Structure 1
Amino acid sequence: MGKIANKQMICEVLMEAAKTDKNIVALCSDSRGSGSFTPFADTYPEQFVETGIAEQNLVSISAGLAKCGKKAYAVSPACFLSTRSYEQCKVDVAYSNTNVKLIGISGGVSYGALGMSHHSAQDIAAMSAIPNMRVYLPSDHLQTKELMKALLKDEKPAYIRTGRNAVDPIYEEGNVPFEMDKATVVTKGEDVLIVACGEMVKPAKDAADLLKAEGITATVLDMYCVKPLDKEAIVREAVNVKAVVTVEEHAPFGGLGSMVAQVVGSECPKKVVNMSLPDAPVITGTSQEVFNYYKLNAEGIAEQVKEIL
């Protein structure tokens, strides 16, 4: 299987589950097309709700349906879901501990040239700060599939951020190491630990390959579960390396880098460098063009590691 967008896999998993579970309900804020949920809406019209461009209503309606026994999946651009409806996510979903899964599509800089209004570079920090809210950034469609299958089995709130485009798979079909709320070791090394999430896992893995050719070995940790953060994995992998690098499609404050630095600082103190988007409106361009500009690519990560070591 080649490239598949994570959001498409989310729809496929829910469509399969909806065949037998009529309590599954998908809701969109004029985002069924961009969210790859048109097939769900067409196949299960009685299990689909279109709110229009009304993200606050989207979340509140989802919470109401959940309180009535439904399993609500609210699909909306991450930039709006994590800001415009923040109070509803906090109060109606998390504070009330309702079974709503918030699917933030086109996260990070996926919308490219549309600029800061459509970028979500603060959502990891914002959503992680809400009690009862879990935060996940799966790295490829195969891991997304396993995550969604696991989320179907629980009744707790969660925020899942995905990108807009198909990404190269990290794992192999039929061989996806997955444990709920446990980070996955992608590569194993002794010199540096690279902790990444979402679309940054692939360039982190590629950077490890580049470094290996130069005699530097890196452990790459796929921290798809940003909250709850797998602290045990961080300490286990960080304790014997020389330095730690975190890589995220997010602002430099309050995200994965901040969380990892807290853990390393308290448990096994050593240098931690956070690679992220800048504390400024990012340049316009495709996701890859933005990543290349800010050195959030394999070459940039490898260069940062060598500089630290």
Structure 2
Amino acid sequence: MPENIEILNDISKIFIPFRSVLEMETITSTFLETLNYDRLKEVPKTQPSSDKLISILKLKDNPLAKSVDYFINTVLAKVKPIVMYARDHHDINRRGNVIPYIKTRISIFFALHRLKVKFLIIKNFFDKLQAHYFNKDVFLENDSINDKSLLSLFYEYYYKKNLMNLHLMLPKSKKSKRVVQLLNNRDTITNEKLLNMVGKKYYNNKNEQIKFIMREIKASLFTCKLIFARMDVFKPFITKRGGSINIEELMISNDFIPELIPAMSESLDEENYKAFENYYRAFRFMLRNSLEGINYAISLASDGQLSLDLEEPIYTIGNLFEEL
């Protein structure tokens, strides 16, 4: 798989905190394979110690506990609260003098970048489907694909783009003998181990396919919330239309991805285009609100210095959405 030099240079500027954020995501996703997200949902508000979070994630005496400890005691320790300014004794505005590479904010910017890219992969799939008049054949790379349902094609697309993105961020590089010896330890989390933990699990069961994508989103969301909580921000995801929509709940709602994508898949397979149109309209509405909520969180963390378009990531994503 080709490695894009631009993204490698971009990501190298934030290597250490980026790596820890990715490890925290991976650990959370692994936890969610067997336990419900409800057990984690309110944890960030408590600003847990490393020992407490290790206990919650059931990682005592597990080598991965070191990653949690580093994330809490080193990465989060660098994060500074967003200062609150009151104007005319009424409106309270949070402000932080930051740029995307400043040390006190790198972790939250990369965590938000990861969350947004996951939703952009989803959006890109449906944008491409719509551009081809909802003809699924655009995603059929060869005749060997047995399950040609929209749901399976969507999962295949997400899986490949997610893995491609991970390869771009975790490039294989030549190592000296000394480095190889240091990494030749079962407790060391290497790039290869991260790729295997995050990106190499392929599911054929449709129910598991949706669960995998939801774990990905929830893991990113949880990581973002841990960092925002350290900044004394507990509701970072809102829209310009105000607080009538709980964006955080929307992103992980069963009424969104878990329900609408299978419903769209079934209606398209049955050629029930009226039903598909209704599901698709609701899906686009929820997707747009999710991306707007993430953009608001990005703007909040940057004191308005980062005002992104709906489809614009924080960092370069290389050729992720280009046809190869």
TM-score band by shorter chain is: under 0.3
TM-score by length of 2: 0.20
TM-score by length of 1: 0.20
Which structure has the greater CA radius of gyration?
2
Q: Which has the higher contact order (CA 8 A, sep 6+)?
A: 2
Q: Which has the higher strand share?
A: 1
Q: Which has the higher helix share?
A: 2
